[in-house]
Amino acid sequence: MLKKYSKNHIAEILRYVVFKKRNYHPKYFKREYLIKEFERSFVSAYDDYNKVKDTNPDYLVEEILRGDFRYLLASINKILTDYTLHERIMKNNMEIFLNGIYTRQRLLFLANILKYPKLDTDRAYMMINFRGSFAYFDHEIVDKFLVYFPEPFKTGYSFYVAYANGLNLIFNGKLEETSSYLNKKSKLKKLTKYERSTLLTLKAIADENEKAFAFELDNTLDLYHRQIFYLNLADFIGIEPHGLYNIAKKVWGRFPGEPDKEFWDHDFVVYSKNKKPKLLLDFSQISPLLESWLKKLPSDIKITELMEDFKKEQNI
């Protein structure tokens, strides 16, 4: 897949790969490194618990899960994303890419449950993190997220709030309301060109306007690389535009025409149409606890249940 990019972008990709291997580990993009990072995270969480469990067990378990452990999950997600994108871009491995993104979305949802956010800005940010789910078919997680946070988002970064509310409305089938809302929000002065085009793409889906959808989706792909503030492999596959494409399919009941752009992954779209993703790793070999949590998703999981699971694991 690497050869599809321009010379400048190939140079950027290779520079990033070299940087990660040099500054993190020579095997940074290897499966065994990813597995060790998962294992390390659980060992760290267990060690923290064992050091202080005699003082105030209930409070400390909650503190560990909502604090350190949640941040460890977020850190692992970055490594997981790098690994799966590296497999896709450098090795043309679409199965690992599909399963990796699917796994990433489930870990994000678990991290969100652990965080149990109370601020609208947090909820809006987490909502837009799930926009890519529709690109990789984890509809169950998206539907559960809507149940988890059913109310409108009110405060926070204007684009996050507008996009999160637009997604909430369109996922609930309120197409006219979505169109009217996004028409207003797309005129906000503080939006970047990429953000405005993203909102207009979602509006075109609600309007069932395939011409406007194609135009704005092209714009998002043209602007996609430029809106990134730091280099990473996610710059080179338009995961968010792919998510919008699959949202259109969900709303319209058919796949729209595909764009012909550098950051569009046509081969993956073809590959994934009839594929059902699965968890990337055998988590039973890493942590039976994490495996049990991921298998429970997207059913309702409460922080109190996770705390009990965690304590039981320590008594084995």
Query: Looking at the structure, do residues 164 and 224 belong to the same domain, yes or no?
Result: yes
Which stretch, 48-57, 128-137, 203-212, has highest mean pLDDT? 203-212
What per-residue confidence (pLDDT) applies to 208? Answer: 96
Query: Looking at the structure, do residues 134 and 217 belong to the same domain, yes or no?
Result: yes
pLDDT category at 299 given cuts 50, 70, 90 is low
Decide if 51 is inside a domain. Answer: yes
Query: Per residue in 153-171, pLDDT tens?
Result: 777 788 888 988 898 888 8
What per-residue confidence (pLDDT) applies to 123? Answer: 62
Query: b/e map of 286-308 (b: 16 or more CB within 10 Å)?
Result: bbebbbebbeebbeebeeeebbe
Residue whose C-alpha is closest to residue 100's, from 62, 50, 138: 138
Q: Which amino acid is residue 271, in one-letter code?
A: Y
Query: Per residue in 233-286, pLDDT tens?
Result: 888 888 888 889 988 988 999 989 999 998 999 999 999 888 888 899 998 888
Binning the chain into helix, strand and coil, the percentages to the nearest 5 are 75, 0, 25
Q: What percent of the chain has pLDDT over 70?
A: 84
Decide if 180 is inside a domain. Answer: yes
Q: Coil, helix or strand for 303?
A: helix
Instruction: Kindly state the tokens that stand for 45.
Output: 């969480």
Dihedral sign for Cα 299, 305, 309, 310, please.
positive
Instruction: Kindly state the tokens that stand for 304.
Output: 């109190």
User: Would the pLDDT of 120 be above 80?
Assistant: no
Query: Looking at the structure, do residues 99 and 8 belong to the same domain, yes or no?
Result: yes
- DSSP 8-state code for residue 265: -
Residue partners of 178: CB distance under 8 A and separation at least 6: 166, 169, 170, 202, 203, 206
Query: Looking at the structure, do residues 316 and 213 belong to the same domain, yes or no?
Result: no
Q: Taking residues 9-15, what's their average pLDDT?
A: 92
Instruction: Kindly state the tokens that stand for 142.
Output: 């998206």
Query: Looking at the structure, do residues 218 and 307 belong to the same domain, yes or no?
Result: no
**First-to-final CA distance of the chain:** 46
Query: Looking at the structure, do residues 126 and 258 belong to the same domain, yes or no?
Result: yes
Query: Looking at the structure, do residues 92 and 126 belong to the same domain, yes or no?
Result: no
Query: Looking at the structure, do residues 177 and 90 belong to the same domain, yes or no?
Result: no
